[in-house]
Amino acid sequence: MLRYLIGILISLLALTFIRAIWGIIQKALVDEVTSAVKDGPAQSSAGGTRPAPTADTTLRKCVTCGTYKPESAMTRYGSGTKSVYFCSADCEKKAHS
């Protein structure tokens, strides 16, 4: 009977131990992923499953005609959240006229 109780106690302890280890592993993985994504536009990690945007494939809207194009194909003015994008030299001229 005592053996049986000790067996249950040990398995409970083992379970708690495994859960703790698993929690640490998960936290380490999440930390690694979030630090890898940090280079993107600044956003809190509360978002969770946001796909990591890369500079070449992020679509930007031309402020003049509304066309969406990859950021690398556009002319950019300004920096950070105040940047504006033009799809072509024509649109750039229109915006300045």
Q: Which stretch binds Zn ion (CB under 5 A): 24-32, 46-54, 57-65, 76-84?
A: 57-65
Q: Which stretch binds Zn ion (CB under 5 A): 14-22, 49-57, 74-82, 89-97?
A: 89-97
How far is it, in rounded angstroms, from Cα 73 to Cα 15? 54
Cα–Cα dist 81/27, whole Å: 31
State how far the alpha carbon of 52 is from the alpha carbons of 40, 48, 60, 73, in Å: 7, 11, 15, 19
Q: How far is the CB of 64 from Zn ion (least distance, A)?
A: 5
Show the binding pattern over residues 13-52: x = contacts Zn ion (CB under 5 A), - = does not. ----------------------------------------
Q: Does 62 sit near Zn ion (CB under 5 A)?
A: yes
Taking the least distance from each CB to Zn ion, the nearer of 11 and 83 is: 83
Which candidate, 68, 61, 62, places its Cα nearest to that of 88? Answer: 62
Residue type at 11 in one-letter notation: S
Is there a contact between 64 and 94 (Cβ–Cβ < 8 Å)?
yes
Residues found near Zn ion in the complex (CB under 5 A) = 62, 64-65, 67, 87, 91
